[in-house]
Structure 1
Amino acid sequence: MSQTVADPRLVGARAAPKRRMRLSWSDPRFRATVWQVVIVGAVALIAWYLISNTIANLDARHIATGFAFLGRIAGIPIGESLLPYNPAVNTYGRALLIGVLNTIKVAAVGVVLATILGTLIGIGRLSTNWLLAKLAAFYVETLRDIPLLLQLLFWYTILQGLPAPRQALHLGNALYLTNRGMRLAELDWQPAHTAAAVAFLIGLCGTILWGRYADRKQDATGVRPATWPIALLLLAGLPLLVWAVMGEPFTVDYPVLRGFNFQGGITLSPEYFALLLGLVTYTASYIAEIVRSGILAVPKGQWEAANALGLRNGEVMRKVILPQSLRVIIPPLTSQYLNLTKNSSLAVAIGYQDIVSVANTTLNQTGQAIEGIAVIMAVYLVISLSISLFMNWYNAHIALVER
């Protein structure tokens, strides 16, 4: 039987043998282990001291601890809420939940509006129109240098100076501006509208899948199937078909002046409107600079190549420059989203009842200061981590993949 000899050039190099850790201060691994044990022990000792000292002080003052107060009747009046609320019946737990929803309502709408406004202003700063570029620069340099709290107070004062309901500023019958807030017409929501919304989501998923199929088809054959007719059919045709099959309900509740105030429609309180305006305009000034720097980070040759293909400037910005600049924009944009969410805690200064305002009232009435602060911290931690996880996922999704 023949014997085969392995070519020494094809044999992988042997791994260097691992050295055992020596119990000597001259061994780097031993020193690192000792320092880690010391630091972890010191942190644990400090935490134990703080916790035991807090418990001892609470016992000495006969202050009860725990979250049992969440099941007690709240008695906290809340001006606006997304859920039905009766202070004489509902508990502190429900009041805090309404505060969380009010915070999310401001943060979610603020993030969308600030992104749109900041993107437009950032592009405006790069415009060849001298007046537009200077106005955008003035906006950015002015809004960034004024403290947010002063801006919130400014907007709240402006809204309080609007006329009374009988002299309201209005746009037809659908929008009224008064010192009691903004009153908007509201669609009378029916099950058919819910079904149409579900159909739209299904159509959106179908559009995404068709777009991916078109990309694979183009890579394989060089010919891309038409996508916009399918998208139009799925995003518009399918929801309209579902809505029509279910009876085509469409009733709008318009606000009507009755007595000293409007009835009907949906109301945006002055506190919510002022907070939203302040957060959006302030955060948009930072987002504008992020967008401008991201666009400038794209090599100038990309503009020249796109123009050589005959694309208009708007198409170049939308199809070539912005998709590439997103890889630079997304990381700092995440920080601004987090800042907007955390800055919403200033709502207490103008009377909007977010989680901070409701929790402060709760801890003042119950004396559960530690639990109240813990609830506030937990709410902002969960919201911030959710935003970070989503933005990190999106950033990884659009990242360039090396081949």
Structure 2
Amino acid sequence: MSDVSADPRFARQAPRRPLRLSWSDERVRNIVWQVLVVGAVLAVFYWLYRNTSYNLEVRRIATGFGFLEREAGLPIAESLIEYDPSMTYFRALLVGVLNTLKVAVVGIVLATILGTLLGIARLSRNWLLARIAGAYVEIVRDLPLLLQLLFWYALLQALPGPRQALNPVEGVFLSNRGLKLPSFRWEDAHGWALIAFVLGVVGTFLYRRWARARQMQDGQPRPVWPVGVALMGALPLAVWWALGAPFQPDIPFLRGFNFQGGLTVSPEFFALLLGLTLYTAGFIAEIVRAGILAVNQGQWEAAQALGLPRGRVMSLVVLPQALRVIIPPMTSQFLNITKNSSLAVAIGYQDIVSIANTTLNQTGQAIEGIAIIMLVYLTISLSISLFMNWYNARIALVER
């Protein structure tokens, strides 16, 4: 048999049967059933829309999003942007969205770090360390998240007042008013230094791609770290130094019955972040442990045969391969952190759910308020999913 006849691309395909308008034709039945299902779904949505519109009209409840331009009169304890009660409901809801994103982003980073360390600790040869990590995972995962949030909030509220605040490190105070940390005053020089750092990251990435391309051509490796240190370290420091090297630390201090200066982490935010991080880290630890165990034992043996210590084997050989198993379920945990942050209303942290609930209670725009909450969480969840799917596709093995 010739190569041409053996190639499936040149194989003859069976002729397609013409579509007959008969119930005995399977394709006709499939089309009819799909049209009926889509029509039934559209009919249900139309009935819900008409029923809702009629009930709102009978009760003389206003509809639409015009209330977003009205003055909110809503006090918000903490916000990432400027806000006061004289601003609009739109501004208040924007503050709620940013507060939700703050908890989600910081929680994802901290839970990933802690969960990864716990997952590795569960596989440690140290019997005591492995058992402590295992006990933590089992206890944290078996307790409801809401109960943990209430526990941490009650614990923070039971701390002493500012005058008897815990002072573990100079400039750091922990009391029932929250956590006070040193900070520094942001000036123009810091902004330009940050821009220089971002440009350095981009330049390092481009140089790394160029170095790899050249190595593929001539086989000569080119170290990337000197360029990275120069662009991401020396360049921002040079810009900062050229603009006067301003650095004014803002150290918190006690004045009267409260602290002045520094950075304040409220008890509500601290309790929410602590609960979400510790709870989700237990699930991430099991995902990391499963991903490491999924790597073939031969990879460990081959790396150790080259003389690599166990720590280097884990970081250079095992974890990069385990990522292909870890990333898909890790995406679900990142989504869980974002959605579980809605429990903030139970401890008084003003996120999008809390502010939207207050808004709909004041305006009576219940449908619009719920729709805004759904839209915010849907947008955040889809963004996380798209990014993680892109990253998962990037690290996936490409079969030749």
TM-score range, shorter chain: over 0.9
Match of 2:59 in 1: 61
Match of 2:78 in 1: 80
Deviations along 1:168-224, one digit per CA (max 9) or x if unpaired, are 112443211010101111111111111111111111112222222332333333331
Where does structure 2 lack aligned partners over 5 or more consecutive residues?
none
Aligned partners of 2:179, 2:256: CA distance in 1, in Å? 17
Aligned residue runs from structure 1 range 202-351, under 5 A: 202-351=199-348
Match of 1:192 in 2: 189
Residue identity matched to 2:193: A
Match of 1:155 in 2: 152
Deviations along 1:28-53, one digit per CA (max 9) or x if unpaired, are 11110001000000000000000100
Is the Cα–Cα contact under 8 Å of residues 102 and 353 in structure 1 kept in the other structure?
yes
State the aligned residue count. Answer: 396
Aligned partners of 1:255, 1:97: CA distance in 2, in Å? 29
Shift of 1:9: 8.5
Aligned partners of 1:287, 1:231: CA distance in 2, in Å? 31
Residue identity matched to 2:288: V
Aligned partners of 1:322, 1:400: CA distance in 2, in Å? 14
C-alpha change, 1:9 and 1:361, in structure 2 (3 Å) is closer
Deviations along 1:272-292, one digit per CA (max 9) or x if unpaired, are 000000000000000000000
Q: Residue 73 of structure 1: SS of its match in structure 2?
A: coil
Where does structure 1 lack aligned partners over 5 or more consecutive residues?
1-6
Residue identity matched to 2:35: V
Is the Cα–Cα contact under 8 Å of residues 171 and 253 in structure 2 kept in the other structure?
no
Q: Residue 144 of structure 1: SS of its match in structure 2?
A: helix
Out of 270-279 and 308-317, give the one that drifted further.
Answer: 308-317
Aligned partners of 1:28, 1:352: CA distance in 2, in Å? 57
Aligned residue runs from structure 1 range 128-147, under 5 A: 128-147=125-144
Is the Cα–Cα contact under 8 Å of residues 302 and 320 in structure 1 kept in the other structure?
yes
Shift of 1:225: 1.3
Q: Residue 370 of structure 2: SS of its match in structure 1?
A: helix
**Residue from 36, 39, 44 that aligns with 2:37:** 39
Q: Residue 74 of structure 2: SS of its match in structure 1?
A: coil
Aligned partners of 2:298, 2:5: CA distance in 1, in Å? 50
**Residue from 17, 21, 24 that aligns with 1:23:** 21
Q: Residue 10 of structure 2: SS of its match in structure 1?
A: coil
Residue identity matched to 2:196: A
**Residue from 353, 357, 360 that aligns with 1:356:** 353
Is the Cα–Cα contact under 8 Å of residues 189 and 243 in structure 2 kept in the other structure?
yes
Aligned partners of 1:171, 1:330: CA distance in 2, in Å? 37
Aligned partners of 1:31, 1:168: CA distance in 2, in Å? 74
Residue identity matched to 1:301: G
Shift of 1:21: 1.5
Q: Residue 167 of structure 2: SS of its match in structure 1?
A: strand
Query: Is 2:382 aligned against 1:380?
Result: no
Is the Cα–Cα contact under 8 Å of residues 173 and 255 in structure 1 kept in the other structure?
no
Out of 126-135 and 197-206, give the one that drifted further.
Answer: 197-206
Deviations along 1:119-154, one digit per CA (max 9) or x if unpaired, are 000000000000000000001000000000000000
Is the Cα–Cα contact under 8 Å of residues 173 and 254 in structure 1 kept in the other structure?
no
Match of 1:121 in 2: 118
Out of 286-295 and 218-227, give the one that drifted further.
Answer: 218-227
Out of 9-18 and 181-190, give the one that drifted further.
Answer: 9-18
Aligned partners of 2:136, 2:221: CA distance in 1, in Å? 43
Aligned partners of 2:165, 2:379: CA distance in 1, in Å? 40
Aligned partners of 2:203, 2:399: CA distance in 1, in Å? 29
Out of 202-211 and 264-273, give the one that drifted further.
Answer: 202-211
Aligned partners of 1:207, 1:13: CA distance in 2, in Å? 50
Aligned partners of 2:301, 2:394: CA distance in 1, in Å? 27
Aligned partners of 1:39, 1:389: CA distance in 2, in Å? 29
Is the Cα–Cα contact under 8 Å of residues 176 and 182 in structure 1 kept in the other structure?
yes
Query: Is 2:75 aligned against 1:93?
Result: no
Shift of 1:12: 3.2
Is the Cα–Cα contact under 8 Å of residues 156 and 178 in structure 2 kept in the other structure?
yes
TM-score, with length taken from structure 2? 0.96
Is the Cα–Cα contact under 8 Å of residues 291 and 325 in structure 2 kept in the other structure?
yes
Aligned partners of 1:329, 1:134: CA distance in 2, in Å? 22
The percent identity for this pair of structures is 65
Shift of 1:229: 1.4
C-alpha change, 1:58 and 1:9, in structure 2 (3 Å) is closer
Shift of 1:24: 1.6
Shift of 1:8: 8.2
Query: Is 2:164 aligned against 1:167?
Result: yes
C-alpha change, 1:25 and 1:237, in structure 2 (3 Å) is same
Aligned partners of 1:152, 1:101: CA distance in 2, in Å? 20
Out of 326-335 and 207-216, give the one that drifted further.
Answer: 207-216
Out of 274-283 and 185-194, give the one that drifted further.
Answer: 185-194
Out of 207-216 and 246-255, give the one that drifted further.
Answer: 207-216
